């Protein structure tokens, strides 16, 4: 007989006001929804851009004692897989579906109009938070989100695809791909907030996130101790920019002078000692284009070693914050009954820093190598507020030991295999063991539902649900010899492709991560490789020539999976897609050539701000001044890319910061007279391709007071972590002509008008050319 007090968990939300049958007497009190008896707390921790061979629990050189602590209390999975880029991995994690199946074939900033790449999660794919919240869990997300479609990231929403619209009761973090850890621009729920401390006061974003997560968990268990929690903690670390205090970097002083080739050997030896890889595992082939350590000169080695010291310090600092959270859970008495899932990388280590590495990441994103001599002269800045660092590709390859390739390259395990740890003292008997079952990020959601005793919902909010494509991993918790339950899995990212089936992998490496701006080669020129990972753990021996029939079968299997999961048509563009003009996606301001903003407008990210790149425009500011006012009138971006119109002691200035490498400043030849005035900058595009030259003119009440030229301009994006603001420059400053903090204009601002010329037809033809190449 059905228990009338048992809710129907297959249809969410559960109607608490209506009993499941008429057996309850009239006037019975309404009972709040609670999960099934014994449902544990859930804590999912995601580290960004950490390769398989980086962390100490997986044999790497970055000391992570708290990750080791979790591993000793639980299980390490050494055949766990991700998608090769940030947003796709996060969407797969949250939905239990493959990333193209839910519209996230690439990062949100690269979205297009194609169904598998739109950036819009369908309502038919409910998130982990929606399901757990609907079953009575308290839910919260902290840190990096990076799953909301670009046009919806502004103050007008809609907010249904923000964390608080996707099942989280609370959110504290940032929305985009990366964030300045010293000067972050954050949200609490959907409200913009900023830290009340500065780097010189000891502020760091990773510490701030854990402070908030710990406080939230403690409050939940104080007020509703019978209600389990689901906390999602997604660090911005260890993604670029590498931001960490000198004291953490100094822990590794000289530790990497031996170079990346030797580090691979040391890491592989440690992985074998730990049992992470088989004794017969070999190092996968080196990428030919990348120099060996012996090929570098002394200056290049010095710079490269400091980058790795900074990265390792960044990783260890992140681990220390995990330790603080675990200690707080233990003090609260809830750690033993918490399923902790620690995912050590949402993709492989990043090779996007270029062959040289970079202290100005947006340079490499636009296809420009950073200057080693310049970096050597400024090494004391690395890790601090005046740097935006990412290590050389050689270190990325070493951090993915023993596998080939890096982030973005979904064809090989260096881009798609990461370490994963599960700890649940009350639910897993094993301690410190390794599990080698083959699994993927989409398996986390069904695993969590399994341990919570919650079924896969049939409908959510009245919307029928598409099948969850993941497989619960719980079968492996207490049986190290359990046969794999995941037999087939496809991979694709910016044209890099692979298919796994029953131990075999067929792979086609198409693009190179450190060349993110064309040229684009035809997909027909890709060479498919074949590996038997049952005997060749690291994909070291290509069997394509000896097993052509098997390769052909797997290639056909990839085509079938690609058709089923909305992978086609393939598109290999990276940075080009980060400019909506070139991506062909809708801009929030599309079709508007005149935009008016008030004096308090702010925190508009790149995707919702006026798109002033590669097009002529005028920005006019109405102000009331005493003639000696200082501060920012309107600005977009920051220290590593952007522009700003400002005053210093009444003198009007305009700064254009191109990739953090080239700062052009135009200053008026007179002060702005006291009273109500109209100042403007006219920006005239003179290029024939994205990033071309421009002319600048400053005017006061329509009189020219200053002029200048740009030899080049920003082609695709200013910054992922900075915003458009009226009356202040938030985050890091575009120019040091005014303070990094407290740069608000001291006078009064009226209307700020942005007048945009139509997108340059030459740029539009560039978009069509790129699209033709990508669809070849």
Q: In what order do the strands lie in the sheet with 504-508?
A: 488-493, 496-501, 504-508, 528-532
- Chunked into runs of 10 residues, the chain (776 residues) has average pLDDT values of 66 76 62 91 98 98 98 98 98 98 96 93 98 98 96 93 98 96 97 92 97 98 96 98 98 98 98 98 96 98 98 98 98 97 98 97 93 97 97 98 98 98 97 98 98 97 97 97 96 97 98 87 96 97 98 98 97 87 75 93 93 96 97 97 98 97 97 98 95 97 97 94 96 96 96 89 45 43
Q: Are residues 553 and 598 in the same domain?
A: no
Output the CA–CA distances (angstroms, integers) from residue 137 to 215, 315, 334, 429, in the order listed: 17, 31, 15, 25
Boundary (domain end) residue, out of 578, 595, 612: 578
Reduce the DSSP state of residue 235 to 3 states and report it: coil
Strand partners, 698: 681, 706
Q: Are residues 382 and 494 in the same domain?
A: no
Q: Are residues 77 and 184 in the same domain?
A: yes
At 662-704, the pLDDT tens digits run 999 999 999 999 999 999 999 999 999 999 999 999 999 999 9
Amino acid 678: pLDDT: 98
Amino acid 528: pLDDT: 98
Reduce the DSSP state of residue 447 to 3 states and report it: helix
* 751 within domain boundaries: yes
Q: Are residues 555 and 617 in the same domain?
A: no
At 218-273, the pLDDT tens digits run 999 999 999 999 999 999 999 999 999 999 999 999 999 999 999 999 999 999 99
Are 257 and 301 in contact, with CB atoms under 8 Å apart? yes
Amino acid 30: pLDDT: 76
Q: Are residues 437 and 515 in the same domain?
A: no
* 90 within domain boundaries: yes
Amino acid 409: pLDDT: 97
Q: Are residues 420 and 503 in the same domain?
A: no
Residue 249 has, within 13 A of its CA and on its CB side, a CA count of: 18
CATH of the domain at 657: 2.60.120.200
Query: Cα angle vertex 532, ends 528, 534, to 5°?
Result: 155
Q: Are residues 389 and 514 in the same domain?
A: no
Q: Are residues 163 and 265 in the same domain?
A: yes
pTM: 0.95
Closest CA to 56 of 284, 324, 252: 252
Quote the CA–CA distance of 586 and 113 in Å, as a whole number: 8
Amino acid 151: pLDDT: 87
Boundary (domain end) residue, out of 527, 546, 578: 578
Which 3-state string (H, E, C) describes 479-547? CCCCCCCCCEEEEEECCEEEEEECCEEEEECCCCCCCCCCCCCCHHHCCEEEEECCCCCCCCCCCCCCC
Amino acid 5: pLDDT: 59
Indicate the average pLDDT of the chain: 94
Percent of the chain residues past pLDDT 90, beyond the cut: 89
Q: Are residues 186 and 329 in the same domain?
A: yes
Quote the CA–CA distance of 558 and 570 in Å, as a whole number: 13
Q: Are residues 197 and 271 in the same domain?
A: yes
At 79-89, the pLDDT tens digits run 999 999 999 99
* 32 within domain boundaries: no
Provide the residue range defining the domain that includes 216. Answer: 41-476
Residue 772, burial from CB neighbour count under 10 angstroms (0-12, 13-18, 19+): exposed
Q: Are residues 91 and 239 in the same domain?
A: yes
Amino acid 500: pLDDT: 98
CATH of the domain at 271: 3.40.720.10
Contacts of 15 (CB under 8 A, 6+ apart): none
Amino acid 520: pLDDT: 87
φ/ψ (deg, to 5) at 302: -60, -45
Neighbouring CB atoms inside 10 A of 254's CB total: 9
* 73 within domain boundaries: yes
* 775 within domain boundaries: no
Amino acid 585: pLDDT: 79
* 389 within domain boundaries: yes
Q: Are residues 513 and 446 in the same domain?
A: no
Q: Into how many domains does the chain fold? A: 3
Buried b or exposed e, range 656-687, using 16+ CB within 10 angstroms: bbbbbbeebebebeebbeeeebbbbbbbbbeb
CATH of the domain at 493: 3.30.1120.10
Boundary (domain end) residue, out of 421, 453, 476: 476
Amino acid 2: pLDDT: 39
């Amino acid at each position: 007989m059905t228990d009338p007090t048992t809710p129907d968990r297959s249809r969410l939300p559960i109607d608490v006001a209506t009993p499941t049958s008429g057996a309850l007497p009239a006037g019975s009190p309404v009972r709040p929804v609670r999960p099934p008896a014994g449902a544990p707390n859930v804590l999912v921790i995601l580290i960004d851009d950490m390769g398989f061979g980086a962390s100490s629990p997986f044999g790497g050189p970055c000391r992570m004692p708290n990750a080791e602590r979790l591993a000793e209390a639980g299980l390490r999975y050494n055949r766990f897989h991700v998608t090769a880029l940030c947003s796709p991995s996060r969407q797969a994690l949250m939905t239990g579906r493959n990333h193209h199946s839910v519209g996230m074939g690439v990062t949100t900033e690269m979205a297009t109009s194609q169904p598998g790449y739109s950036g819009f999660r369908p309502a038919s794919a409910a998130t982990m938070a929606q399901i757990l919240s609907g079953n009575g869990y308290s839910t919260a997300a902290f840190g990096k989100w990076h799953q909301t479609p670009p046009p919806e990231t502004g103050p007008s929403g809609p907010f249904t695809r923000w964390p608080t619209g996707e099942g989280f009761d609370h959110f504290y973090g940032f929305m985009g791909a990366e964030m300045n850890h010293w000067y972050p621009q954050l949200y609490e729920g959907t409200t913009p907030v900023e830290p009340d401390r500065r780097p010189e006061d000891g502020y760091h974003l990773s510490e701030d996130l854990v402070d908030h997560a710990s406080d939230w968990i403690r409050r939940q268990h104080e007020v509703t101790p019978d209600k389990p929690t689901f906390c999602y903690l997604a660090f911005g670390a260890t993604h670029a920019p590498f931001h960490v205090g000198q004291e953490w970097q100094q822990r590794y002083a000289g530790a990497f002078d031996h170079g990346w080739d030797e580090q691979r050997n040391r890491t592989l030896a440690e992985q074998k000692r730990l049992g992470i890889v088989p004794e017969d595992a070999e190092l996968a082939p080196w990428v030919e284009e990348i120099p060996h350590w012996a090929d570098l000169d002394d200056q290049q080695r010095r710079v490269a070693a400091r980058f790795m010291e900074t990265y390792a310090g960044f990783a260890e600092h992140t681990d220390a914050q995990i330790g603080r959270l675990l200690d707080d859970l233990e003090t609260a008495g809830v750690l033993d009954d918490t399923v902790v899932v620690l995912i050590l990388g949402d993709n492989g280590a990043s090779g996007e820093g270029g062959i040289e590495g970079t202290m100005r990441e947006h340079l490499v994103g636009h296809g420009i190598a950073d200057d080693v001599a310049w970096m050597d002269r400024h090494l004391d800045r690395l890790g601090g507020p005046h740097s935006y660092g990412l290590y050389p590709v050689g270190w990325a390859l070493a951090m993915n030991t023993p596998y080939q390739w890096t982030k973005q390259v979904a064809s090989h395990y260096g881009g798609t295999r990461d370490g994963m740890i599960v700890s649940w003292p009350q639910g897993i008997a094993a301690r410190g063991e390794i599990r080698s079952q083959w699994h993927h990020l989409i398996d986390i959601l069904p695993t969590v539902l399994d341990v919570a005793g919650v079924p896969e919902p049939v409908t959510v909010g009245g919307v029928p649900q598409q099948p969850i494509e993941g497989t619960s991993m719980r079968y492996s918790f207490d049986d190290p010899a359990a046969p794999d339950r995941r037999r087939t899995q496809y991979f694709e990212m910016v044209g890099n492709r692979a298919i796994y089936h029953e131990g075999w992998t067929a792979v086609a490496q198409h693009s190179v991560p450190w060349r993110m701006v064309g040229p684009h080669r035809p997909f027909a020129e890709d060479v498919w490789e074949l590996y038997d990972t049952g005997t060749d753990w690291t994909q070291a021996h290509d069997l394509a020539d000896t097993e052509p029939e098997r390769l052909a079968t797997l290639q056909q299997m990839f085509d079938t999976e690609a058709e089923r999961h909305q992978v086609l048509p393939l598109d290999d563009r990276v940075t080009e897609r980060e400019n909506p003009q070139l991506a062909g996606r809708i801009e929030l301001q599309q079709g508007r050539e005149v935009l008016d903003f008030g004096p308090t407008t702010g925190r508009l990210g790149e995707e919702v701000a006026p798109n002033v790149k590669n097009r002529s425009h005028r920005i006019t500011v109405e102000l009331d001044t005493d003639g000696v006012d200082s501060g920012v009138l309107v600005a977009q971006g920051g220290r590593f890319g952007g522009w700003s119109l400002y005053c210093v002691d009444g003198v009007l200035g305009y700064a254009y910061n191109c990739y953090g490498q080239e700062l052009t400043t135009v200053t008026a030849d007179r002060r702005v007279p006291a009273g109500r005035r109209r100042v403007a900058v006219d920006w005239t595009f003179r290029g024939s391709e994205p990033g071309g030259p421009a002319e600048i003119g400053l005017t006061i009440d329509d009189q020219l007071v200053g002029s200048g030229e740009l030899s080049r301009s920003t082609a695709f994006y200013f910054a992922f972590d900075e915003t458009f603001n009226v009356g202040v420059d938030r985050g890091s400053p575009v120019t040091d002509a005014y303070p990094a903090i407290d740069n608000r204009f001291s006078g009064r601002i009226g209307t700020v008008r942005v007048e945009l010329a139509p997108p340059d037809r030459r740029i539009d033809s560039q978009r069509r050319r790129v699209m033709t190449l990508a669809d070849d």
